[in-house]
Amino acid sequence: MSSVQLPLTRESVLEAHALIRSLIHCTPVFTSATLSKLASSGDTNVNLLFKCENLQRIGAFKIRGATHALARLTDEELQKGVVTHSSGNHAQALALAAREASSVRGFKIPCYVVMPRISTPSKIAATEGYGAQVVFSGSTSAEREAEVRIVQEKTGAVLVPPYDHPHIVLGQGTMAVELARQAEEELGMPLAAIIAPCGGGGMLAGVAVACKGTGVKVFGAEPREGADDAWRGLRDGERVDSVKSLTIADGLRTPVGLVNWGVISDKSYVSGVYTVSEEEIKLAMKLVIERMKILIEPSSAVPVAVALYNKDFREEVWNLAQGKDVNLGIIISGGNTTIDQIIQLFGVKS
């Protein structure tokens, strides 16, 4: 990536938003009386406000960071193209961002995406559909990174990492800028806090940076099934650098990046990280799909599950209320799943 890096500040997030807002969707904020009632206690009303990044371009928030990262590269850097490794939403995000940037810059920006051979065929097809050249690799991170180096040696392409870079973080933080404004100006419900899922931590760190100094508290949510590396890292005072998990929230099977850990481990940015079980994630996903009528992927259900089922987090939110209503923003990170995957997940028999 470019040697000129912006500082991780709220001002930088606002600059990022001004730069990319015409190239992304300002996704809607939905509410649900049913889910809000479930999150509330007898004497405290908790209003849940859902920032629906499942309705974002490419079906997930990742387009924000990819678009911002490319916007910060020079024409000279982009001439040789960009490369990344991803089996998920970042692959499609970078492919689309490169295609859009090509139109803006007036020249073709090659995009190379290293994907494991075992990647879902629909995700490979979508990545290629946005114009990327897919290069296949083994499934381990070491194998993917080795293939990226080969691509870079051959082409000189610039690496755009999925989450662990300041420009990615700042791009992801733009969703919090929108959410806070929409909550206050459109709904008349100013936020007390936001909770976001945490995998590599780019989104959570971005949201935290965007909210710094605003009075809005920020929390993270993780699956308890092996992918709770941020929670364990905070407990032990040291970043966990590897994750082995088969959690259904497959978008969160990633250790927190170095850049992102610097933000997430600072309590003045992130007030805490909370975890939930696989069954709780499934229950939350089912509730959102059935009650809100929107399609979400399992990773998106993790912060919803924390708000509904994690006793410690619920008490934290009730304490924020101090006898009044409290407005909690929840990031719905994406909706890139299929009916077949949902049927398999819930064990529906035909």
Count Cβ atoms below 10 Å from residue 347 Cβ, excluding itself: 7
Does residue 108 have an active-site annotation? Answer: no
CA angle 306, 313, 39 (to 5 degrees): 65
Dihedral over alpha carbons 170, 176, 182, 183 (to 10 degrees): -160
Nearest CA among 176, 277, 167, 184 for reference residue 219: 176
CA distance 119 to 259: 27
**Spatial CA neighbour of 257 closest among 271, 269, 241:** 241
Please give the Cα distance from 295 to 315 (Å, whole number): 29
Is 62 among the residues known to form the active site?
Answer: yes
Q: Which of 87, 119, 265, 300 is catalytic?
A: 87
The answer to whether 47 and 36 have CB atoms below 8 angstroms apart is: yes
State the sign of the Cα–Cα–Cα–Cα dihedral 232, 310, 259, 140: positive
Beta bridge partners of 129: none
CA atoms lying within 13 Å on the CB side of residue 26: 12
Q: Which residue has the tokens 């309705």?
A: 55
Helix axes 311-321, 298-309, angle to 10 degrees: 70
Q: How many CA atoms lie within 13 A of 146 on its CB side?
A: 8
Compute the Cα dihedral for 217, 222, 227, 228 and give only its sign. Answer: positive
Candidates 12, 32, 62, 86; catalytic one: 62
**Per DSSP, what are the bridge partners of residue 47?**
327
What are the angstrom distances between the C-alpha of 136 and each of 33, 96, 117? 45, 19, 5
Known catalytic residues? 62, 87
